[in-house]
Structure 1
Amino acid sequence: MRLNIFIVLLFTLYAEGIMGPCGNEEMSCSTEDAVCASQTTVQSIGNASQSVQTKNCFEPKMCVNGSVNLGITRTAITMQCCNTDLCNRRDASDLSSNPNGKQCYYCNKKSCLKKLSCAGTEDHCIKAKGMRI
């Protein structure tokens, strides 16, 4: 499940860079196993935030919600999937920004003891190291 969320996050960021948000064009899903989806992606860096709505066909297993919050940047995806013609007319609501009471530490240039309030379904903390090039 976590791998699916990661793949959807990567696909969304890549697809939005190429295709941009779609209009109200109708399309046919290519397989019987595809569902209609409305997706809202919110990318936040510091106090700036951008929201992009996308509508497309997806495999049902790709209909996931999730977010990655690294303190200084956050990406959240909310998807609503359905299986009847043109059922994805409405934009998916961004429910991922509601605080959930959990906290993790994050790093900035001065310290790695800054506290980060989690939101939505964020329920795991990660620890990672990187090298400055």
Structure 2
Amino acid sequence: MCGNTDAEIRHIYEQWHACVLQRDLDGVMALYDDDAILETPLILAVLKDHDRGVLKGKTAIGSFFAAGLRDAGNGLGRWYRTGTFFSNGRQLTWEYPRETPDGDQVDLVEVMDIERGLIRHHRVYWGWVGFLTLAPALNSRANKAR
């Protein structure tokens, strides 16, 4: 796997965030490789017919984002970040910290493997505030499965 240019990495970093804020599904999906993988526990809360927090392929990932971007009341919409990101030319990482100038928000770490200027594998790690936000939806899902 060869490295990406600094411009390609910065493009993903800036555009992914901007497109999510603008609820621009086409813009978000343009950043993903056709065979991309997305891993996040939010999949279980958003897509009721999935039993794993892993989606494979742009179509499945697009369905997840379409559903998630439609739900403005999901409590996940503050999206403050510091502007700091880390990359080695192949992997891009940044944080949405819990503590913000306006109080607590859902705390996430985004980790993306980038190939040919596109997201190939995207993993989202949740902090304790994020976990507490997800817990009711996941608990409700577990109770319905019984």
TM-score range, shorter chain: under 0.3
Rg larger for: 1
More strand by share: 1
- TM-score, normalised on structure 2? 0.26
Higher relative contact order (CA 8 A, sep 6+): 2
- TM-score, normalised on structure 1? 0.28
